[in-house]
Chains A and B, each alone.
Chain A
Amino acid sequence: DAGVTQSPTHLIKTRGQQVTLRCSPISGHKSVSWYQQVLGQGPQFIFQYYEKEERGRGNFPDRFSARQFPNYSSELNVNALLLGDSALYLCASSLDRPNSGNTIYFGEGSWLTVV
């Protein structure tokens, strides 16, 4: 079975541009979350969606937005890119509604470089 798939794997954008990152969860998984991982740091939570509704939002500016589609795939959008947005963006999925003990499965991430 396919794991969590993300696209694109690598991209370079210019400051001020907009970017859309895509994620397909594991088949049957209904919860998707997004994380930003800056080099040398642990993942920082951005958004969590379950059944197409936002269930959690991290401490990120409004330039960051996301949505989940009826097939449970998801997109992360970042507007007005800054150099500091350069990072690995990870998508993760889990089977059920958000819960403390849920196992979440990560994709390999999208490397974003802002120049």
Chain B
Amino acid sequence: DTEVTQTPKHLVMGMTNKKSLKCEQHMGHRAMYWYKQKAKKPPELMFVYSYEKLSINESVPSRFSPECPNSSLLNLHLHALQPEDSALYLCASRATWGTGELFFGEGSRLTVL
């Protein structure tokens, strides 16, 4: 299984809502990533978990709260978002051996009204 699965594929939420994005992989990878991607822009690094511990937070606003409950799962909790947070949120995982390639999920398309 070489897949990273993200749910939901699409999410529409109001600025007062609380929602979560989920990411799952069963490749035994111990590094997991959240990236944000706006249209015609590159993926922008948000968070990295390494061995279930937060290793990188790229000064992301606290309305985004990551969680790594176990080595296969990564969540991104969303609260009080702004319309400018609308974007494609990509999860990726990486093995701690080999080339260090990132395996990306298909993304969750988020719209904040």
A and B associate: no
Please give the residue numbers on chain A whose beta carbons come within 8 Å of chain B beta carbons, in ascending order.
none
